[in-house]
């Protein structure tokens, strides 16, 4: 059904977005890229409209041979092929047979590292996000969790290998409007994995209500 008299706000109009990430910025080591994505904006536009989210939670996954929890660990397969392409591409896979999970390929090409975008706050296209997330209780939940975030944006496997840093792209990754203060970032082990559980490769914005879960279980100032 068409919307009448409604003009979608552009992602570049929100959150003081300072332009798209560059491929060079995303080609750095995966931990550094993961932290740099906190506060960034991810937008997707299709015939239904535009949804943009502010990224509030990420996890890093290492390249081939480096990180046993990563899909890239054993090398290239048909599923993970996108991980080994250029930084700035999208890698989308299906989890538990029903949820799409969205990753930003990073690091030098061929390494296979990527950042899983686990949660965001919807900044643009709230009505569209609400329609895509009928079971969500409130806007806080629209993009809370990796499967929910993909659903709110309308991302599916068909979007895998899409370029996030091209001016003409339908899915784009915008730099944060302002640097994120270090004290606003919390850190802990990744969620839902059985290998490499000691690696603290999950980062989130400690004040965001849209962080996916278990904040209380992963205090960021252990002693």
Partner DNA sequence: GCGACGATCTCA
Partner DNA sequence: GAGATCGTCGCC
The answer to whether residue 147 forms part of the interface with DNA (CB under 7 A) is: yes
**Which position has the token pair 């929890």?**
69
State CA 210 to chain mean position distance: 13
According to CB under 7 A, which residues from 156 to 215 bind DNA?
A: 157, 190-194, 212
Of 97, 120, 98, residue with least CA distance to 44: 120
Give the Cα separation of 24 and 115 in Å (integer). 15
Q: Which of 70, 172, 208, 210 binds DNA (CB under 7 A)?
A: 70
* C-beta of residue 192 within 8 angstroms of C-beta of residue 221: no
According to CB under 7 A, which residues from 116 to 135 bind DNA?
A: 116, 133, 135
Is the CB of 95 or the CB of 184 nearer to DNA?
95
- The piece of 2-10, 45-53, 71-79, 199-207 that touches DNA (CB under 7 A) is 71-79
Is the CB of 14 or the CB of 193 nearer to DNA?
193
Of 191, 184, 181, residue with least CA distance to 206: 184
Q: Which of 27, 41, 148, 172 binds DNA (CB under 7 A)?
A: 148
- The piece of 17-25, 99-107, 163-171, 177-185 that touches DNA (CB under 7 A) is 99-107
Give the Cα separation of 27 and 143 in Å (integer). 26
Q: Which two tokens stand for residue 41?
A: 């904006």
**Which position has the token pair 């015939």?**
47
**Which position has the token pair 């969205």?**
102
* C-beta of residue 196 within 8 angstroms of C-beta of residue 202: no
Q: Which of 31, 57, 59, 163 binds DNA (CB under 7 A)?
A: 59
Q: Which of 23, 99, 130, 215 binds DNA (CB under 7 A)?
A: 99
The answer to whether residue 68 forms part of the interface with DNA (CB under 7 A) is: no
Contact positions vs DNA (CB under 7 A): 59, 61, 69-72, 74, 77-80, 83, 93-99, 101, 103, 114, 116, 133, 135-136, 141, 145-149, 157, 190-194, 212
């Amino acid at each position: 059904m068409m919307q009448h008299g409604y003009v979608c706000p552009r992602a570049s109009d929100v959150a003081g977005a300072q332009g798209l990430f560059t491929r060079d910025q995303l080609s750095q080591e995966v931990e550094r890229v993961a932290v740099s994505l906190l506060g960034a904006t991810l937008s997707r536009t299709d015939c239904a409209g535009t949804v943009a989210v502010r990224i509030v939670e990420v996890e890093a996954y290492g390249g081939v041979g480096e990180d046993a929890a990563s899909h890239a660990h054993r090398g290239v397969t048909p599923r993970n092929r996108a991980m080994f392409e250029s930084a700035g591409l999208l890698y989308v896979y299906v989890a538990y047979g029903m949820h799409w999970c969205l990753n930003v390929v990073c690091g030098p090409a061929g390494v296979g590292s990527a950042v899983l975008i686990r949660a965001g706050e919807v900044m643009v296209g709230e009505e569209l996000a609400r329609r895509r997330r009928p079971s969500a209780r409130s806007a806080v939940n629209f993009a809370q969790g990796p499967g929910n975030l993909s659903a709110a944006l309308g991302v599916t496997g068909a979007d895998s290998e899409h370029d996030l840093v091209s001016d003409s792209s339908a899915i784009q990754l915008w730099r944060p409007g302002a640097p994120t203060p270090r004290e606003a970032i919390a850190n802990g082990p990744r969620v839902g994995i059985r290998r490499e559980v000691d690696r603290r490769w999950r980062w989130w914005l400690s004040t965001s209500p849209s962080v996916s879960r278990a904040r209380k279980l992963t205090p960021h100032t252990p002693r």
